[in-house]
Structure 1
Amino acid sequence: MSMLDKLKGLIKGHPDQARQGVEKAGDAFDAKTQNKYQSQVDTAQQKLGDQIGNRPTDEPK
């Protein structure tokens, strides 16, 4: 079983917590780099959120 399969198994059933973790990690990276890569981080956060699925209704698609 690959690492990606293990992560998918852990995330399954907990999309909100996974999405929060992605947001926190991206925000922490932005803080460390003084927002130098903010657009790239935002794109990565959005793509990971799409992969996680079940986006909250308060966020636009």
Structure 2
Amino acid sequence: MDVGGLGDKAKQALDSEKGEKGSDAALDKAEQVADDRTGGKFDQQSDKVGNMADQRIGQQEA
């Protein structure tokens, strides 16, 4: 499989409902780790970055 095909396959997986739930869980976990490591000092920033990432990956609402 070529690299382009692998990218397409990953995008299709993220566009599924299961993929969306998985990406949301991973982003939530990443935000929590960042908040834990910084003592919540950058909570608003990590929330903003998490929301921006969520808009870029996963299911695209029509």
Specify the TM-score bucket, using the shorter chain as the normaliser: 0.5 to 0.7
The TM-score with structure 1 as length reference comes to 0.65
- CA RMSD between the two structures: 2.6
Q: Which runs of 5+ in 1 are unaligned?
A: 56-61
Question: If each structure's helix is expressed as a fraction of its own residues, which one has the higher value?
Answer: 2
Q: In percent, how many aligned pairs have the same letter?
A: 19
Q: Which runs of 5+ in 2 are unaligned?
A: none
The TM-score with structure 2 as length reference comes to 0.64
Higher Cα Rg, which structure: 2
| Pair 1:31 & 2:40 matched | no
Query: Post-superposition shift, 1:20?
Result: 0.7
The number of residue pairs the alignment matches comes to 52
Query: Post-superposition shift, 1:51?
Result: 1.2
Moved beyond 4 Å, runs of 4+: none
Q: Which has the higher contact order (CA 8 A, sep 6+)?
A: 2
